[in-house]
Structure formats: C-alpha cells, structure tokens
Amino acid sequence: MAKAQLFVSQDEFTCSVCLDTLTDPVTIPCGHNFCLKCLTDCWDQSRVFSCPQCRHIFSTRPELNRNTLLNGVIKKFKRPRLSPPLSQSYASFGDVECDICSGKKFRAVKSCLTCPASYCQTHLQPHYEGDALKHHKLVDPNRNLKDKLCEKHQKSLEIFCKTDDSCICLTRLIGAMAKQLGVTLSDIKRRLEEREKTLKETRRAMDVMKMSVVREVEENEKSFTALIRCIEEAHRKLTERIREQEKREMEKAEGVMEQLEKEIEELKRREAELKELSETKDHLHF
C-alpha cells in the first residue's frame, strides 16, 4: 500500500514575530507557536503577557517549554534538498505558472514576496540552498503578488501598522521612524537652547547681585566710619546680616546652576546618541 504524503506550507512553521522559520518552537495556551527567544524577548520588555498573534492576555506569565514534536517536524521541513525531488507538472488552467521556465511553463509551488516571482520546484531550490535567498519570504503560489507589495516602495508588506490599520513595508517603517527621530531631535535642541539661556540669565543675575552687595557694604562702611563707637556694634550686625543674605542667595543660585548644568549635559548626551542613530546606514541595526 502506497504511503500517504503530507504537503505543508512553510508559512505554517513561520514565527509571526521575526517572520522566519521557527527556532526552538514553543506553544502557548492559546495554541499559537513562536520562537523561544522571540517570545521571551517580547515578554521581557512588557508588563502584559499577551499573544503577539491573537493578542490574548494571560493573567500570569506562561511557562515556555520547547515543543519537541513540532521542532522535529521543522528540522525535516528545513532540509528539502535532502529529499528526493518532487515530480513536476505543467501549469494548467487556474494554476500559477513559474516565472522562470521558458517555453511551456511548469506549475509554481511557491511565490516569493521578496523577488517578487513564482517558482516551480526546480527553480525554487536556490531559495533553500543559497545564503542570499534563504531569508526571502515564501508563500503559497499567488498570481496577484502586487497586492502583497507596497505600491510606493515595491517591498513586501511585512509589518501591521495600527495607526494606518494596514500592512506596511520595512522601508516605510524606517521612514516613519526617521521622521519621528527628527521631531525628537528638534525638541531636544529647543530644550537645550532654553536651558542654556536660563543658565546665562542666572549667571548674569549673580554678577549683578555680587556688585550690588559690594557697593552696599562699601556705602555702609563709609556711613558708619564717622559714627561714634556706641553704634559700631549695630554696624557690625548689619554687615553680618547682609553677608548672610548674600550667602543664602549664592547657595540658592548655585543649586539652580548645578541642576541646569546636569540637564544640559544629559540633553547633549542624548542629542549625540540620536544624531549617531539618525546617521547610521545600517537599517537592520536602526
């Protein structure tokens, strides 16, 4: 009796977080599967433990154990070149044709959103064997690949945008992030200018206050020099009171200056970091 063959799509073994084939797959209570590292990183950065796919929220963080059965299936699935080549058939009415075949075309078994093109079993092999192609997004044969590409950038729609309530490509996401980064940099520059202006005004006020105190002390000393000894004690107490006032005002102003200098230093550090990030050409790192 002939053995039954089970044909599955690569999409069934794809992690919805990294959009790549599952690595160390784990199954959570809602039934969805993810890479162990992807889900761990996702939950480590959030206080809410929810499914990245169906958004079901768990009251406590579920324990993650590798799905050994699914892991074994994936290992076999990821070695297509070790399996005997599948028989190919020519495309008939309703089938998606291979874009690479010349002459009479074979039926496509996969479509690539990255290329974008559809491939028969033979022409699909480079996507499994070549390092440059193995990370391409493969889906079931689809003759309407344009519907899965960004009209503006001609890139695959890989990310769902809650704001637009639609899928967008990575290029559009990077553009939106760069725009937001520019707004943040502008805000930091504005706040930096405000702090520097306040610091200058505080320093100028301190200089005026010091000159005023010096003049007032000198005038009081001249006024009390000619007075009789009976009022010398009053003169001394008045001078001490002025000095104490100066000390309090100086301490207050120095505290304001110290705080402003700390804020300026932090803003400059953040400005430098964001400038470095905005100038990077490594989109993946960005």
How far is Cα 166 from Cα 158, in angstroms, rounded to an integer? 10
What is each CA distance from 157 to 54, 55, 113, 145, 151, in whole angstroms? 19, 20, 9, 11, 10
For residue 280, pLDDT over 80 is answered with no
For residue 81, pLDDT over 70 is answered with no
Asked which of 116-130, 207-221, 260-274 is least confident by mean pLDDT, the reply is: 116-130
Strands 157-161 and 138-139, sheet pairing: unpaired
Residue ranges of the alpha helices (H) in 16-96?
Answer: 36-44, 68-77
- Per the DSSP assignment, residues forming a β-bridge with 149 are 156
The CATH class of the 9-78 domain is alpha beta
Is pTM, for the whole model, over 0.75?
no
Predicted pLDDT of residue 264: 92
Asked which of 26-35, 40-49, 96-105, 132-141 is least confident by mean pLDDT, the reply is: 132-141
How far is Cα 172 from Cα 21, in angstroms, rounded to an integer? 24
Predicted pLDDT of residue 132: 74
CA 105 to the chain's CA centroid: 44
Does 5 or 74 have the greater pLDDT score? 74
| Tokens read off for 133 | 């192609």
Predicted pLDDT of residue 202: 92
What is each CA distance from 57 to 4, 35, 51, 63, in whole angstroms? 39, 18, 7, 14
Break the chain into its structural domains and give their ranges: 9-78, 182-278
Confidence of residue 2 (pLDDT cuts 50, 70, 90): very low
Confidence of residue 204 (pLDDT cuts 50, 70, 90): very high
What is each CA distance from 260 to 70, 191, 204, 251, 254, in whole angstroms? 58, 11, 15, 14, 10
Does 174 or 9 have the greater pLDDT score? 174
- Per the DSSP assignment, residues forming a β-bridge with 179 are none
Of 78-92, 96-110, 190-204, which has the strongest mean pLDDT?
190-204
Predicted pLDDT of residue 262: 92
Confidence of residue 6 (pLDDT cuts 50, 70, 90): very low
Predicted pLDDT of residue 156: 56
Of 75-84, 108-117, 132-141, 236-245, which has the strongest mean pLDDT?
236-245
For residue 5, pLDDT over 50 is answered with no
Predicted pLDDT of residue 191: 92
